[in-house]
């Protein structure tokens, strides 16, 4: 819980969380609906706590300390977060998040740095969307995806991660988002 508190203080001091909530693409008309700030706050706290499924967010639901870290009145259920995110258009949502991510590292560009491009092949089991058959030493007929991380190792800053089918494994395939 300690890293969660430190990062929440960073979000509060930098104004990043307030800006994220102010520009949120969630609008509710019902007086009984959850506030967009609580939906975004629950999602952010769930991610910071290391949850990778909506159902895991229920562990935070009755936490008395976590909502206060971001100045929230309370946390919403994982179903409210799921329904809220489903309402956001995929392209507009990506632009919204990319814009806020860009604001967090824009000052960083004033100093000299080196872009580091790392490509990782992740083997998948079963049928996953976007996975393609690849041949590796560990799995001669496995299905995989390729993750390309763009960032600066010296500052330990990750600028972006792109996910592509496994057969496109060269670093040059990650140039689209660059």
Q: How many CB atoms lie within 10 A of CB 94?
A: 11
Phi-psi region of 15 (alpha: psi -120 to 50; beta: other; left: phi over 0): left
Domains of the chain: total:
2
User: Domain check: are 123 and 102 in the same one?
Assistant: no
* Residues 145 and 164 sit within 8 Å (Cβ to Cβ): yes
User: Domain check: are 27 and 72 in the same one?
Assistant: yes
Given 90, 106, 122, the domain boundary residue is 106
156 vs 10, higher pLDDT: 10
pLDDT of 135 above 60: no
pLDDT digits (tens, 9 = 90+) for 64-95: 888 888 888 888 989 989 999 898 999 999 99
8 vs 37, higher pLDDT: 37
User: Domain check: are 52 and 7 in the same one?
Assistant: yes
Given 61, 83, 106, the domain boundary residue is 106
Q: pLDDT at position 68, please? A: 87
The model's pTM: 0.65
Q: Poorest-confidence range of 36-40, 86-90, 103-107?
A: 103-107
Q: pLDDT at position 33, please? A: 82
User: Domain check: are 144 and 92 in the same one?
Assistant: no
pLDDT, the chain, mean: 79
Percent of the chain whose predicted confidence (pLDDT) is above 90: 11
User: Domain check: are 117 and 159 in the same one?
Assistant: yes
User: Domain check: are 40 and 87 in the same one?
Assistant: yes
User: Domain check: are 84 and 163 in the same one?
Assistant: no
Quickly tell me which residue has 């800006």 as its tokens: 19
Task: Give the helix ranges, DSSP H, for 87-126.
Answer: 90-105
Average pLDDT over residues 40-45: 89
User: Domain check: are 95 and 11 in the same one?
Assistant: yes
**For 104-112, which contacts have Cβ atoms below 8 Å and span 24 or more sequence positions?**
104/14, 104/16, 105/157, 105/159, 108/152, 108/155, 108/157
User: Domain check: are 35 and 59 in the same one?
Assistant: yes
Q: pLDDT at position 96, please? A: 92
Q: pLDDT at position 92, please? A: 93
Domain membership of residue 72 as a residue range: 2-106
Given 65, 88, 106, the domain boundary residue is 106
């Amino acid at each position: 819980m300690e890293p969660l508190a430190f990062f929440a203080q960073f979000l509060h001091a930098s104004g990043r969380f307030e800006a994220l909530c102010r520009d949120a693409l969630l609008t509710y008309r019902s007086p009984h609906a959850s506030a967009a700030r609580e939906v975004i706050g629950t999602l952010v706290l769930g991610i910071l706590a290391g949850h990778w499924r909506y159902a895991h967010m229920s562990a935070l639901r009755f936490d008395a300390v976590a909502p206060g870290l971001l100045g929230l009145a309370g946390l919403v259920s994982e179903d409210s977060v799921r329904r809220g995110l489903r309402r956001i258009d995929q392209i507009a949502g990506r632009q919204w998040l990319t814009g806020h991510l860009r604001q967090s590292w824009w000052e960083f560009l004033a100093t000299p740095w080196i872009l580091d491009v790392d490509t990782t092949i992740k083997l998948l089991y079963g049928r996953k969307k976007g996975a393609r058959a690849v041949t590796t030493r560990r799995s001669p007929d496995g299905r995989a995806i390729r993750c390309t991380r763009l960032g600066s190792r010296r500052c330990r800053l990750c600028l972006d991660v792109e996910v592509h089918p496994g057969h496109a494994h060269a670093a040059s395939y990650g140039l689209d988002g660059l």
